[in-house]
Amino acid sequence: MKLYVVPTPVGNLEDMTFRAIRILKEADLILAEDTRTSGFLLKHFEIATPMMSHHKFNEHKTVDGIVQRIRSGQTIALISDAGTPAISDPGFLVVRACVENEIDVECLPGATAFVPALVSSGLPNDRFCFEGFLPQKKGRQTRLKFLAEEKRTLVFYESPFRLVKTLTQLAEVFGKERKAAVAREISKLHEETRRGSLEELSSWYTQYPPKGEIVVIVAGLE
């Protein structure tokens, strides 16, 4: 009678832990962000546990039912398409509901994209600020201006289609010489970390449009 939050690989399937595989096999039900995507993972590790869709479009409606299932004696595992659930992915609502209903929640340690990106950036990582995805429209400029004064290293997630726009805006607000790094395709075949000033990175990716999942690391204000 527990909710397990189970990280899954962000790239290389060898990053899956033995414990994560065992928990997913032993659970009564797996909540998956996209059952088609997770189906490949489960098949690879010969996990036959039933799945149910749990994503940002239905999580408000499914939370109560999930709580009732666990209270009736089931063990449920929550996964996302990649990485640790609830980190810029669905998961927070069901975890909060379980905590409020005094249901045990256990989060396994495991893959998340921003940690290797931060460590390999070469920027200070003793103190950092994780921002996830910036607002796309409303409040974006206000948020950028506020963060321009942040002294800790900043961590953002970004889409390859918006990367150049974001780097350009960061250069305008933070200053074009502010040091940064762009990590993409973490733990995948074409993993890459490119370091430089915000202006240099913006110019590079304007010339060479990026692909894949992206983490942007920006130095704090000195």
Residue type, 219: A
In this structure, CATH architecture of domain 114-218? 2-Layer Sandwich (3.30)
Residue 112 to residues 57, 70, 159, Cα–Cα distance (Å) = 22, 26, 16
Give me the pLDDT at residue 151, please: 97
Give me the pLDDT at residue 115, please: 96
Residue 153 to residues 40, 106, 129, 136, Cα–Cα distance (Å) = 36, 29, 6, 21
**pLDDT digits over 93-149, tens only?**
999 999 999 999 999 999 999 999 999 999 999 999 999 999 988 899 999 999 999
pLDDT at 32 over 90: yes
Same fold, 2-107 and 114-218: no
Report strand pairing: 128-133 vs 153-158. parallel
**pLDDT digits over 48-102, tens only?**
999 999 988 888 888 999 999 999 999 999 999 999 999 988 899 999 999 999 9
The residue with tokens 């909060």 is 96
CATH code at 2-107: 3.40.1010.10
Over pLDDT 70: what percentage of the chain?
100
Give the start-to-end residue ranges of the domains of the chain: 2-107, 114-218
Q: Would the pTM of this model clear 0.85, i.e. be above it? A: yes
